Amino acid sequence: MPLNIFQESDVTNFGSNGPETQVRPPQQGASPGPTQSNHAASQTAGQAAGRAASVLSMQGIGKSFPGVRALDEVSFDVRPGEVHALVGENGAGKSTLMAVASGALAADDGTVLIGGDQLTHAQPEQARSLGLGIVRQHPALLPDLTVAENMALGVGYKRVGGLRRAVAWARETLAPWEMNIDPRARVADLSMEKRFIIEIAKALALNPKVLILDEPTEHLNAEEVQRLFTKVRETVATGAGVVYISHRIPEVKQIADRITVLRDGQTRGTFDADAVTEEQIVERVVGRKLETVFPTKEPVPADAAERLVVNGLSGPGFENISLTVRSGEILGLAGVQGNGQAELVRALAGLASTSGKIVVDGQQVRGGNAAAANAGVVYVPADRHGEGVFLPLGVSENIVARTLHKVSRLGLVSDVLIQATAKDQIRNLAIKTPTPETPISSLSGGNQQKAVMARTLLAAPKVLVVEEPTQGVDAGARVDLYKILRTAADDGAAVIVLSSDNVELEGLCHRVLIMSRGSVVEELTGEEITEAAIAHAALTSTSVRGQEKTRPEKRRRLRAWLAGDQSPAAVITVIVVLLGLGTGLHNGDYFGQLNLNNLLLMLAPLLLVGAAQQVVVMGAGFDLSVGPLMGFLVVIASYWIVDGGNLVLGLVLMALGAVAVGVINGVMVTWFRINPVVATLAVYMALQGIYLSLRDTPGGTIFPSVAADIQAHFGALPLVTIIAVLLVLLLELALRRTRWGVELRALGSEPDAAERLGVKVRLIQFTSYVICSALVLPASIILMAQIGIGDGRPGLAYTLNSVTVVVLAGASIFGGRGSFIGIIAAAVLAQQLVNVSPFLNLSPAWGYWLPGLITIGAAALYAQLRRTRRTGAHA
């Protein structure tokens, strides 16, 4: 039976000074009362005075989620000029407690004081205004925004001197980190280390009264960790307080003044950091004594089969790697981060193109990931959320995802078999989950990783390749994961472990290979494998090697530009010019004034409706109602902008109709949370029904003089086309240089992160639908002048045409990325493709085939260009 370390006889033996605060949980079976709760625990006068002077004081915090009490009467305080560490297993309540402190989550009970002022609402903006900064375990960065835009949004536009100064301010702020981060680079293109540095620098730039660091070193190397610690010490020297959350107990001991332990949503004690040992902290975190962290390392039999043989393997980031791993052996990969280890393990899993040989059980593996998987290679990635688990699915579905054939009968998946298999794995691996059907996204990181390992073990791997197996995992779960890896080896697998934790490699591995500059430079075996030896080999090897070659600056900039938002406009412009020249050479009438005038006049409404669609798409929305809205507005005009009507009243009614539709779409999508496609499709059909009810046959001739004025020319160019181009250019300027534009792209990039940064996501998305419908208004006025009669049917085609323009312009249909300059080029191309068919003697069908073919080709080209972005950014 595990030792209860919170027995009264054991609670004061932490050192000569003793623990600063003694907190015992309520007795089992007793209902919490005033004398038992942490909130009401008796305090000494000195402790009460310390709390009054705290920069962060949380008293009696309670928080429940369906089926779980995440926080139970938790009290926690941070004094000026101290680093207060908060430790506990994943799921203990640390991140939940800090979410309450930062205003990202509302507590059910208790109070939060920041700098002596109460946090009255669950609003991150209020917490920031009171002086709280936070670096989350998963950075609240917006991947489709630049570094400078992210930092400006995070710290406030006034602090950076406005968006115009954001790039220079970001460069100055990041310079001390010596990470060579380009402020103009898109965050999605950066490594995880650089993203964490940006998040940390952003929080420090707020000069906070209290700074929360939630697992800040998980993706940092040793040098970067020490640089961070220097910044932390500089911060507390100004009188600020720092909350340091980490699973790395040696780091906690190095940086913290006090340590508070959370377990099962309750405070288990607060201690002076120098009064407890690392072992005592771990014991209090897991609630039991740890006789041993690592399972016994049994020697590998001399006659063990060679499971994996690699000869002369080369690929991106590494070269000429040869190694052998036997059945039952655990091989470690070490070295300074970024020296080819990660690329090597992905190559072994078939996730990168390589040259050389990979042999599994005597059979050479040829091909990609599928071939490696069929040969018995199973890969566990470091990016648990991005590549390891299927977040929307339940625990049971995640566990059986790799072995569906084992839970299927006659090609049909059996729920009974899934549940039975999942329950066995949940029990065997001690996965903490309310039910097998619980969404895996609600589990702690350690339990998510156990589910991934359960899926791995069910696949019975011959070769198990694991990257950072315990990254972001608490001490208790680490012990369980080490046992799982040892079990896999004992069952006959060859196990390869890439870890940045040298203690982990020492405790687990039979051999360790140290990599530098993409090559294996040293091998440690048996007693040679120590934390110090691994670190020494890695550092001395890299220190004597030359710098890697980098691409010329001009080439790097070209690659970055090709993958940027404006490159589609350049590509389309080239296509427009070539297509125009080819058509003109075939038929000289193509360049005639009549044809060019017609092309430019027809371009205007397409340009406006394409821009309208782009606005909502940038904010992660979609609007199928733009076409019927044009028809609806034309029909309204046919009752008033006619003989006997009233031009002003007609225009006012059209404007009211456009705004009303925008409001309806915005309310359904943002307040009622209806899927944008479903909501706007319903409006599409409703508008079509309305205008057909008003005019089932065309009628109502528009004022000829009004139509003529709308189609007037300024020199050789239609005036409406000039106005449309200027309006779209104004939108591009707003997108890049205004707060509205940055927040619209932030919304489309990552809604949850944008909301945590204080962006009013509902308001921004609602506004995007209103602006979309407002842009449809001038498009419908131009269409009204072109057809000259009340007929709503010609407007229907503009729904698909607007989508075509957005795709051709290179925008992401998921939001956050795009260009209105691209909309101009794309609209010209789309209209040109319809226009050229008669001049090339093509059948009318080509008016549909050409746009389709060009759209598919453009989408494929843009996807390829974006693949170069990461290469260009890191080259």
Q: How confident is the model at residue 410 (pLDDT cuts 50, 70, 90)?
A: confident
What stretches of 355-414 show up as alpha helix (H) in DSSP? 369-375, 395-400
Cα gap 140→187, rounded to integer Å: 11
User: In the structure encoding, which two tokens stand for residue 281, read together?
Assistant: 């902290």
pLDDT above 90 (res 756): no
Q: In Å, what is the CA distance from 60 to each residue of 34, 66, 97, 113?
A: 11, 20, 11, 12
Taking a C-beta distance cutoff of 8 angstroms, is the pair 273, 256 a contact? Answer: yes
Cα gap 542→427, rounded to integer Å: 44
Cα gap 713→734, rounded to integer Å: 27
Would you say the pTM of this structure is higher than 0.85?
A: no
Residue 862, pLDDT score? 75
Cα gap 421→394, rounded to integer Å: 14
pLDDT above 60 (res 869): no
Cα gap 301→305, rounded to integer Å: 9
| Common-topology check for domains 8-131+208-286 and 297-376+461-548 | yes
User: In the structure encoding, which two tokens stand for residue 471, read together?
Assistant: 């990254």
Hey, what long-range contacts does 74-77 have (CB within 8 A, 24 or more apart)?
A: 74/38, 74/110, 74/262, 74/265, 74/266, 74/267, 75/38, 75/39, 75/41, 75/267, 76/260, 76/267, 77/50, 77/51
Residue 67, pLDDT score? 64
350: helix, coil or strand? coil
Cα gap 455→467, rounded to integer Å: 15
More confident residue, 25 or 732: 732
pLDDT above 60 (res 421): yes
- Among the residue ranges 298-307, 715-724, 856-865, the one predicted with the least confidence is 856-865
Cα gap 792→800, rounded to integer Å: 16
Q: Which residues, in sequence order, are CB contacts of 579 under 8 Å at separation 6+?
A: 829, 832, 833, 836
Cα gap 853→860, rounded to integer Å: 11
Backbone angles phi, psi at 225, to 5 degrees: -65, -45
Between 593-618 and 820-836, two packed helices, what is the crossing angle to 10 degrees?
Answer: 140
Q: How confident is the model at residue 294 (pLDDT cuts 50, 70, 90)?
A: confident
β-strand 412-413 against 408-409: which pairing, if any? Answer: antiparallel
pLDDT above 90 (res 813): no
Location of structure tokens 């915005």: 666
Residue 286, pLDDT score? 66
More confident residue, 93 or 871: 93
Cα gap 429→447, rounded to integer Å: 9
User: What rounded mean pLDDT belongs to the chain?
Assistant: 86
Domain ranges of the chain: 8-131+208-286, 297-376+461-548, 388-460, 558-874
User: In the structure encoding, which two tokens stand for residue 558, read together?
Assistant: 């070209």
Q: How confident is the model at residue 292 (pLDDT cuts 50, 70, 90)?
A: low
Cα gap 313→111, rounded to integer Å: 59
Length of the chain: 875
Q: How many helices and strands (H and E) does the chain possess?
A: 32, 26
CATH assignment of 558-874?
1.10.3470
Residue 659, pLDDT score? 97
pLDDT tens digits, 575-590 = 999 999 999 999 999 9
Residue 686, pLDDT score? 97
The total of other beta-carbon atoms located within 10 Å of residue 126's CB is 18
> What's the rounded mean pLDDT across residues 136-145?
84
Q: How confident is the model at residue 21 (pLDDT cuts 50, 70, 90)?
A: very low
> What's the rounded mean pLDDT across residues 791-800?
95
pLDDT above 80 (res 86): yes
pLDDT above 60 (res 42): no
Taking a C-beta distance cutoff of 8 angstroms, is the pair 827, 607 a contact? Answer: yes
Cα gap 150→611, rounded to integer Å: 25
User: Nearest to residue 431, comparing CAs of 91, 138, 97?
Assistant: 91
700: helix, coil or strand? strand
- 701 alpha carbon, distance to own chain's centre: 53
CATH (one of 3.30.70.20, 3.40.50.300, 1.10.238.10, 2.40.110.10) for 8-131+208-286: 3.40.50.300
Angle at 375 between CA 369 and CA 376, to 5 degrees: 95
| pLDDT cut 70: percent of the chain above it | 88
For domain 297-376+461-548, the question of CATH label 3.40.50.300 is answered with yes
Residue 23, pLDDT score? 37
Cα gap 518→316, rounded to integer Å: 9
Cα gap 522→512, rounded to integer Å: 8
Residue 183, pLDDT score? 94
- Among the residue ranges 79-83, 557-561, 684-688, the one predicted with the least confidence is 557-561
β-strand 241-245 against 463-467: which pairing, if any? Answer: unpaired
Residue 757, pLDDT score? 81
Location of structure tokens 């001390």: 176
